[in-house]
Each structure stands twice: as C-alpha cells, then as structure tokens.
Amino acid sequence: MNKSLRVLAIALAVMFFLLLANVTAGYMLRSDALKSDLRNSRVRDEQFGSHRGDILAGNAPIAGNNYTGVRPFLNERTYANGELYAPVTGYFSYNYGAAGLESSHNDLLIGESDQQFVGRVIDTLSGRTQQGGNVVTTIDPAAQQAAWDALAGQEGAIVAMDYTTGEIKAMVSTPSYNPARLSSTDLDAAASAWDELNADPNQPMKNRASKEIYPPGSTFKLVVSAAALANGYTPDQMIDTPARLQLPQTNHELPNASNCGDGQQTLDFALSMSCNTSFANIGMALGEEKIAEQAKKFGFGTALGKDFESTPSVYPSGMSQASLAMSAIGQYDVRATPLQMTVVAGAIANDGKVMQPYLVAEERDSNQKLLSKTKPTEFGRAMSAENAKTLQKMMQHVVSNGLGKPAQMEGTVAGGKTGTAENEPGHLSSWYSGYMEQNHIAISVFVRNARGGESIPMAKQVLEAMR
C-alpha cells in the first residue's frame, strides 16, 4: 500500500470512529430527551394513546383524562377550573407541546421517570398499558380561589407562599385561558384556539406571576431598606426628605406621593409613608454595588423555583446618580416578578433566610404510592436575623400606622409594603408585598393599570382565606 492510500485509509478509519462515537454519545446523552420530545410524532401518538397521570391541588385533580376509546387519542386531557389553575398546570397539546407542570413533570406523568422503572417492568410483564404517575401540588385551593376572586379579571397576578418552606400556596395570573382548548383531540379546534389566544391583545397565556417582570415600584424599598440596615442605618436615623428632590445633572424633580413633610424623616417613617425622596437619597448614598449585592441575596438575577419556570428579576448596572435615585424607588430599569417580591417579603419574615419556592409537594405512582417528597431548600441568607427582625417591625408599622392600614387583620401580626409603579408614561400599577405570621404566609399582589392601593385589600382577602 503506497503512502497516499495509507493516509486515505487512516482518515476514513478516524472518520468512521468519530461517526460511531457521535452515534453512541447521541444515544446515551440524548435518547431520553428525544423519546420525550413532543415534536416527534411517534412520541406524541404514544403519549396521547396512553394513560397520563393527574395533577392535584389538595385531593382534587386539576388536570386529568377523559377516556375516548378512539385511537390515536385514547385519552383527552381535561382541566378542572382550567383558567384558575392555568399558571400551575400549563397545557398538554398534540400540536403545541406542553407548558407548566405538564412540561416540567412530563416524564412522571407518562410513567417514564426513573422512580417508575419497577412499575414499568410490572406493567410490561402483566400486559397492562403503562400507567402515568400523579403530581401533588403545594397549592391551597381556598387560597387559589380567593386570589382569583380578588383580582376579578383585572390584569395582574398574586403569589402566596409559606415563607418557612417555600411552598407556593397560590399562583394566579389574570386574564387567563382554559388549557383544555389546546388539549382538544379536535386538532382543528385546538389550532383555532391557539391562534385566537396568541392574537388576543390581553395576552391570556402569559404567566404574570413568575414569568413576566415589571417595575416593582415602592415594594423595592424593602430591598433598599435591607441594604441600608446592613450598612449601619437604624430605623430612627434621620434622612433628608425634601418635598421635591432635584435629580442630579437633570432638569427633573422627584416628588413625594404622600405626606412626608419637607425636611427630615426617620427611616422607619420613610418606609411607612413610602417617602420617595428619602429612598432616593439613601440609594445615592449607598451606591449601586451595595444595593445590587442586597438584591442578589434576595434572588434577583436568578430564576427562582425548583420545579417551574420563572424569569430572573433585574437590578440594573452602570447607572448615573439620577438613575440610581429612581432605581431606589423601584423605577428606572428595575424589574421584578410578583414571585420575586413574595420571596423578598418572605425572607424578611423568615428572619433573613431565603427559601427556594416550589410547586410540587409529592410525586406518586398510579397506585398512589409515594415516589418522592419535596424537601424545603434554603436558597441563601439575605439578611442577618437581627436586621430582619428590625425590618419586620418597620413593615408592621407600614400596616399599623402607614399606607398599608387596609391590610390590618385582627388576631395576627402582619407587615407589608405598598407600591405604585409606572409601567409606561401615564400607566400605573398597584403593588403590595407583605406577610402574616399566622401560618407563615408571604404574599405579593400586582395589578396593572390601577391607581392607588387596589392591591392591599386583595392581599388581605387572600390572607383571610388562609387563616
């Protein structure tokens, strides 16, 4: 064999080896993903022709099956109170895939998770159709319904969470949609529903609770207050609080939206009455890095949630002093999800400890045998316990003496922070983030295109339902 032929043979051998290595690696690393990818028509036919497990809230299925007996769609996915639970369940559609828990727990629901291996073997040996497992959520149906009723169709979201564990007790987004329309085995009807929902200017398929970010307004003053306490401020420290503050190097003035006087006020009073000029001065004094560090400790910049999708909240960088002043009152380019602001309020109430939010309490097989139980996970520590207790008292003063008075409830200790944010010029949103010690519940309410304190009684309505 001459030299040219040897080189060619070696090259072909190397290429053949690389091809085998790629096929082997692809099988080992991608087979599970390919088998569960709903874009694969064989996978779709198999999954729609088998028993899919239920998603439950309390003891009641909120996603289940209607047996049709007609192939390839032996089972049609059904949703009890579909609009109410859509941000939790998501949808399961032949043409459009899956979202929400239907997506994140698809393997369990179709019986393909690692924990179900023994069950799959038994099903195979007995000739029985493979059975999907069940997902038990952390949702409290009474709290979920109360949040839905409170929003009453207004554009917004409510998230309630046990701040000692991270269990999501309510997650509502309005306006909403019925996932059953997308799971219909009438594919033409499902396609029509998909087009209609995506063309709807009210955008009902948006999950405003965990996947959309908005200016948090004055609820962000909780983060700035935590940064201030970490850097030596005290509740009775006097802060320059002019009626109007000239923003550095601009022609703009920042006013107060409440009666904050025209002089100096304590940090405690400034939080209770949500004094913009106080917090603008605190923000400029602390500087960008210290506030950014504090925001990060609360979870900003991270996709929060063990078992569901969320969008990271944003604290901007590279700001001028004027922008820094505006960011300190939750404006400029600060953006947060209602989930994030629930985590902030919950961490303060939990003596500074941030818990990772989660939606799934248990995974069970088709016979209700427990496969896994979620253990609470600590995300990190946002504040010292001492500073957290101080900020708890300040939040309680917001409710007892400040702008949060409508959130007062007899028989329990409650703290909170009100907020009004400008989404775009002329369009305001109402926020409330707070907690009640009874049952360890943190909550955030966001109502878009609302003026004043509309969010406060909504929060109270949900918290009352959980007592």
Which residues are part of the catalytic machinery? 218
The structure tokens listed for 424 are 């775009």
CA distance 283 to 245: 13
Give how far Cα 202 sits from Cα of 102, 139, 277, 337, 426, Å. 23, 25, 35, 18, 18
Which runs of E-coded beta strand occur in 256-405?
Answer: 263-266, 353-355, 360-364, 370-373, 378-381
Interatomic CA distance for residues 346 and 355, integer angstroms: 8
Q: In 3-state terms, what secondary structure has residue 385?
A: helix
Task: Give the Cα separation of 306 and 101 in Å (integer).
Answer: 11
Q: ∠ CA(178), CA(176), CA(185), 5° rounding?
A: 20
* Residues in CB range of 408: below 8 A, 6 or more apart: 399, 400, 414, 460
As beta bridge partners, residue 380 has 354
DSSP H or E stretch at residue 290: helix 288-298
Cis peptide before 175 (omega within 30 of 0): yes
Q: Are strands 97-98 and 92-93 parallel, antiparallel or unpaired?
A: antiparallel
CB-based burial, 348-376: b 16+ in 10 Å, e otherwise: bbbbbbbbbbbbbbbbbbbeeeebeebee
Within 8 A by CB and 6+ apart from 22, the residues are: none
CA distances from 231 to 221, 273, 286, 293, 388 (A): 15, 22, 8, 12, 13
User: For the chain, what's the residue count?
Assistant: 467
